[in-house]
Amino acid sequence: MNLTRKRTALAALLAGLLVLTGIIHPQADSENNKSFVLDNGLRVFLYEKKTLPLLNFVFAVNMGSKDETEATSGLVHILEHYILFRGTKQHTGDEIARDMRHHGAYFNAHTGRDLSSFEITIPSNHADFALQTLKEILFELELDQEALEEEKQIILEELTQLQDDPFRLATSFLYQNLFPGHPYQRPIYGTREVIEGATVEQLSQFYRGFLVPANSALAVVGDFSISAMEEKIKSVFEGISSEDFTPSRLEQSGPMSKTVEIEREMDVQMAYLAIGLPGPDYNSKDQYALDVLIEIFARGINPMIYHPLSQKRIQVGGVRMGYSAHRYGGAITIALAMEPKHLKRAKRELTKYLKQARKLNFSSDDVFGEDQLYAMDYMESAKNRLRFRGEQARERGLAIATSLARYMLLNEIADRGNYLEHIAEIGTTELRTATGNYLGQKYSVIVTIEPTKKK
Amino acid sequence: MKIIKSNVFFSLAASVTPALLVLLATGPEAIRAQSRNTALKETALENGLRLIYEHDASSQITVVQFFIKGGQRAEPTGKAGLAYLTTRLTLEIPDFTQTQRLMNQATGMYMACQEDCTFITLSCLSENLEESLDLISKIMRKPLMTGIRIDRITKQMEEYLKTEEDDSVNLAHSASMAAFFKDTPYASSVFGTKDSLKAIKKSDITWFYRNFFHAGNMLVVVTTDLEEEDIKGLIDAHYGPFPNGPAPDLPSFTSRPAPAESIFQEKDKEQSLVSAAFVLNIRTRREYTLGFLLDCLLGKGIQSRLWDLRVRQKLAYSVQSRLTHAEQGTLLEAFLETEHSKTEKAHDALRAALSKLYEKGIDGKELEMTKNYAKAQILRDNETKTSRSRTLAFYETVGLGYTFLKDILEEIDSVTLDEINGFIRSGLAPQDCLFVIIGPAEDEQ
């Protein structure tokens, strides 16, 4: 759950989807970072970042909406809420929350398709408190039907809120149709029916089945010393057992077999268009080309995706395009807002453009002779921007910790190598191939939201 | 801490980034020691342009913030949107070659307009700073103000306005500002209105540019891993030629009392937004600190006062407060979004929560808890070069002084119980509260 709903209009439109693939190399310990695995299977990554007197903890559990069925859709989300707010065997939810605030902590949790994550950012002198609290809320949970009924009502409000936000609603529709027949198609928030009928016994089953150290990872980023933090983590988490745990495994999501179009009306002034396409998964090598393509099409001072629209004099209020890599599949999403009169043409032009995008020139090397003088080098520009964004990402402790936790649970490649070297190796051939394979796919999901027609 | 009247829509580069989780580590050398921030330095160019420098070696990027005093407050009556439009025009890239150069450098540009200033953020790899400054400074010095460009940006602004109004939280904020600051420049959206945009002539834009875009009215804040002398040299080389001139006088005004009646705006949505707004009297650092503490106390994070409306009364998923600080008045809003059949209950519960706070104040324990949360929040809010340099410039522009970022933690620590309770008594009187409700009409509830 997000405690503070982002209100930055278009910036919020695909906030959940625009997370780029976290790429790290945990084997490479140094004096500033270290990774290790406790005897009970808990994976740990420590990264010293001493720019501010803060600590960022992200505890991720390999439990997401992928682990639900139609009959349990939403239980992971409820469990995440319950863990965060409803107390333990020793303390009530209120007591824990007050303690957190007293220590200046920000704490939050998120349910995703693959993982659930619990995060704390706290002044650096409170490491012991943060670790003890994480352990308590995660491994000493007290489930109670009355508290569950209370939390359900808040979750139902969250579901209702989704219906009023055109971009979030559109994104939700995209995901429900991008992965036909795969658990990823189920909504992270769950269904109203399952939430209303959820019982403590059901939650308990998920809790016992997934909340074990061997199914989890802890990343700590901030102002600490590696050896001291390692010792603290071992003393807090080593005693927790992981016996009887068997990790589950799913099939990769398959291709789409038809285009899905969804039309909605809403009390809004602008029209909203969202397009979704299946993308490469977390461990696919195609992600590097996709990262470059996203930069080319949607970022920087001259995003290519504006071209077909501006040629037809269709003005749009900012395009957001993202690629989200999950363990068993990926999603490419495009969303934009425009005057309602432009919606149909924008949809037509954009879908046509994507299908033909492999013919585009991405680099000045794609053209010859004098034309080279006037060709924009989108590819080099995108690569430079990825360098810039990588530097920028180093400043954000919580984002780094999230990335590390995801990496520890989702990565299956023994040696990922150097991200920027992979990016540097991408040429126009790779870009065209990726464009054809992913952006030019035959089938897609298209969601349009228009202002309610006047009666 | 502050609400930036947004232009999240205009971003010449990926400045409006989502959670960027690209981590480019490859080996031991990739994750390296990072030093804490060093002291701030201030200097001024010969033309009067003030430069605030902060060294931060945590990443190899440089962020340059240009703050131009004026903003909405400088807009003549009937010309709302002029500050935004003019600033946006100063970033129009004139030709293919310059577009290509900026693309190659991966330079990010972002702009936004606020009540008392507009700002332009330039961010780039430090190795590209010189070339980026060379290009941007030339564009800013000789902006393209052609009819075609003005028309295009004006149309964009109309769309931004509509998108802004599609969001209930923004709509409630605009309604509160319009009510408390009626007939002042703060009353409108930064994107103006359809009529005000139509009324803006090219001569208005030229006037605004000439009066406000000069060295004496601008402030530059640079946060970088580069050395101070290098930065001074670069800023001097590229912004030294900017004309000098005095900072223009800006109008002073005060807010109006809260209207007796609540404001209701119909929106056919699943949820209603219930908002309560107050204007706080904040002129000094001390008052700002108290306002910031009150904002945290009221609606920031778990166990804030509004949290009870969520966790016990189960009225909403989203409960929040926000502080919009401007020189001529500060707006504090507390709001929640609730399923529309609960609108009345939510309204009563919000009113009761605010009344209780007003009548009983807080105790020492809650003050201590709020202080701890607020101090940590300052650190979190200012973790990145972009956010920190923006805060420095914001404090300076609204008269609090950039050094306030260094001092605010101590300022928070020194707040006494009597002070915060006195501030609550002076700011949250029930008769000074404006309720705004956005949602379905009553007969539909």
In this structure, what token pair is assigned to residue A233? Answer: 């983590």
CB-based contact B17 A21, cutoff 8 Å:
no
Strands A216-222 and A43-48: parallel
pLDDT of res. B22: 29
Mutate to test the interface with B, among A4, A110, A220, A395 (most CBs of B within 10 A): A395
Mutate to test the interface with A, among B15, B111, B302 (most CBs of A within 10 A): B302
Write the pLDDT tens digit of every residue in B85-125: 999 999 998 887 888 888 888 888 899 999 999 999 999 99
**Is the pLDDT score of A122 beyond 90?**
yes
- Which residues in B lie closer than 8 A to residue A417 (C-beta atoms)? 26
Helix (H, G, I), strand (E, B) or coil at B409: helix
Write the pLDDT tens digit of every residue in A170-211: 999 999 999 999 999 999 999 999 999 999 999 999 999 999
With CA atoms as reference, report the closest residue to B50 among B326, B325, B393: B393
pLDDT of res. A427: 94
Judge whether B40-239 and B263-444 match in fold. Answer: yes
Instruction: Select from 3.30.830.10, 3.50.50.60, 3.40.50.740, 3.30.230.10 the CATH code of A9-237.
Output: 3.30.830.10
- Which residues in A lie closer than 8 A to residue B102 (C-beta atoms)? 301
pLDDT of res. B217: 95
More confident residue, A7 or B117: B117
Q: CB-based contact (8 Å) between B391 and chain A?
A: no
| Edge-to-edge strand ranges of the sheet holding A271-279 | A260-266, A445-451, A271-279, A329-338, A316-326
pLDDT band at B15 (very low <50, low <70, confident <90, very high): very low
Residues B66/B122, Cβ–Cβ less than 8 Å: yes
Our CA dihedral for A96, A101, A102, A103, rounded to 10 degrees, sits at 90
pLDDT of res. A28: 56
Neighbours of B413 (CB within 10 A): 12
Domain boundaries in chain A? 9-237, 260-451
Query: How far is residue A320 from each of residues A14, A305, B109, measured CA to CA in Å?
Result: 7, 10, 16
- Which residues in A lie closer than 8 A to residue B310 (C-beta atoms)? 154
pLDDT band at B32 (very low <50, low <70, confident <90, very high): very low
Average pLDDT over residues B229-233: 96
Q: CB-based contact (8 Å) between B284 and chain A?
A: no
Q: CB-based contact (8 Å) between B60 and chain A?
A: yes
Helix (H, G, I), strand (E, B) or coil at B118: strand
Helix (H, G, I), strand (E, B) or coil at B2: coil
Q: Which residue of A has its CA nearest to B92?
A: A301
Judge whether A9-237 and A260-451 match in fold. Answer: yes
Superfamily of domain B40-239: Metalloenzyme, LuxS/M16 peptidase-like (3.30.830.10)
Q: How would you classify residue B303: left for phi > 0, otherwise alpha for psi between -120 and 50, otherwise beta? A: left
CB-based contact B383 A397, cutoff 8 Å:
yes
CATH class of B263-444: alpha beta
Average pLDDT over residues A367-390: 84
Find the largest Cα–Cα distance for chain B: 67
With CA atoms as reference, report the closest residue to B34 among A308, A338, A397: A397
- Which residues in A lie closer than 8 A to residue B61 (C-beta atoms)? 388, 391-392
Distance CA A390, CA A396 (A): 11
**Is the pLDDT score of A9 beyond 60?**
no
In this structure, what token pair is assigned to residue B425? Answer: 């008594």
Nearest CB to A22: which of B21, B368, B384? B21
Angle between helices A200-210 and A145-163 (to 10 degrees): 90
Q: CB-based contact (8 Å) between B261 and chain A?
A: no
Q: CB-based contact (8 Å) between B193 and chain A?
A: no
CB-based contact A318 B11, cutoff 8 Å:
yes
Beta bridge partners of A55: A122, A222
Mutate to test the interface with A, among B16, B104, B317 (most CBs of A within 10 A): B317
Topology of domain A260-451 in CATH is Cytochrome Bc1 Complex; Chain A, domain 1 (3.30.830)
Nearest CB to B12: which of A30, A301, A452? A301
pLDDT band at A417 (very low <50, low <70, confident <90, very high): confident
Tell me phi and psi for residue A30, to 5 degrees.
Answer: -150, -170
**Is the pLDDT score of B194 beyond 70?**
yes
CB-based contact A317 B37, cutoff 8 Å:
no
Helix (H, G, I), strand (E, B) or coil at B327: coil
Q: CB-based contact (8 Å) between B61 and chain A?
A: yes
Chain-wide mean pLDDT for chain A?
89
- Which residues in B lie closer than 8 A to residue A271 (C-beta atoms)? none
Gyration radius from chain A CA atoms: 23
Residues B435/B276, Cβ–Cβ less than 8 Å: yes
- Which residues in B lie closer than 8 A to residue A318 (C-beta atoms)? 8-11
Task: Count interface pairs A-B at CB distance under 8 A.
Answer: 313
SS (H, E, C) chain A: CCCCCCCCHHHHCCCCCCCCCCCCCCCCCECCEEEEECCCCCEEEEEECCCCCEEEEEEEECCCHHHCCHHHCCHHHHHHHHHHHCCECCCCHHHHHHHHHHCCCEEEEEECCCCEEEEEEEEHHHHHHHHHHHHHHHHCECCCHHHHHHHHHHHHHHHHHHHCCHHHHHHHHHHHHHCCCCHHHCCCCCCHHHHHHCCHHHHHHHHHHHCCHHHEEEEEEECCCHHHHHHHHHHHHCCCCCCCCCCCCCCCCCCCCCCEEEEEEECCCCEEEEEEEEECCCCCCCHHHHHHHHHHHHCCCCCHHHHHHHHCCCCEEEEEEEEEEECCEEEEEEEEEECHHHHHHHHHHHHHHHHHHHHCCCCHHHCCHHHHHHCCCHHHHHHHHHHHHHHHHCCCHHHHHHHHHHHHHHCCCCCCCCHHHHHHHCCHHHHHHHHHHHHCCCCCEEEEEEECCCC
Q: Which residue of B has its CA nearest to A272?
A: B163
Write the pLDDT tens digit of every residue in A130-154: 999 999 999 999 999 999 999 999 9
Q: Looking at CA atoms only, how far is residue A351 from chain B in angstroms? A: 23
Nearest CB to B21: which of A158, A165, A393? A393
Beta bridge partners of B69: B117
- Which residues in A lie closer than 8 A to residue B383 (C-beta atoms)? 51-52, 54, 395-397
**Is the pLDDT score of B433 beyond 90?**
yes
pLDDT of res. B212: 96
Distance CA A32, CA B31 (A): 7
Q: Looking at CA atoms only, how far is residue A302 from chain B in angstroms? A: 7
CB-based contact B16 A11, cutoff 8 Å:
yes
**Is the pLDDT score of A10 beyond 60?**
no
- Which residues in B lie closer than 8 A to residue A105 (C-beta atoms)? 373, 376
pLDDT of res. B19: 27
Domain boundaries in chain B? 40-239, 263-444
pLDDT band at A301 (very low <50, low <70, confident <90, very high): confident
- Which residues in B lie closer than 8 A to residue A165 (C-beta atoms)? 167
- Which residues in B lie closer than 8 A to residue A222 (C-beta atoms)? none
Our CA dihedral for B178, B183, B189, B192, rounded to 10 degrees, sits at 150
Give me the amino acid identity at B223.
T
CB-based contact B14 A397, cutoff 8 Å:
no
Nearest CB to A106: which of B27, B268, B380? B380
Q: Looking at CA atoms only, how far is residue A220 from chain B in angstroms? A: 14
Strands (E) located in B194-326: 218-224, 263-266, 271-280, 318-326
Distance CA B27, CA B31 (A): 7
pLDDT of res. A455: 61
**Is the pLDDT score of B29 beyond 80?**
no
Q: Which residue of B has its CA nearest to A155?
A: B317
Write the pLDDT tens digit of every residue in B149-164: 999 999 999 999 999 9
pLDDT of res. B124: 94
Name the burial class of residue A210, with classes exposed (0-12), middle (13-18) and buried (19+) by CB atoms within 10 angstroms of its CB. buried
Our CA dihedral for A78, A80, A85, A91, rounded to 10 degrees, sits at 110
Q: Looking at CA atoms only, how far is residue A238 from chain B in angstroms? A: 27
Q: Which residue of A has its CA nearest to B376?
A: A104
Helix (H, G, I), strand (E, B) or coil at B16: coil
Beta bridge partners of B279: B331
> Which of A142-146, A418-422, B219-223 shows the highest mean pLDDT?
B219-223
- The reply to whether ipTM tops 0.95 is no
Q: CB-based contact (8 Å) between B77 and chain A?
A: no
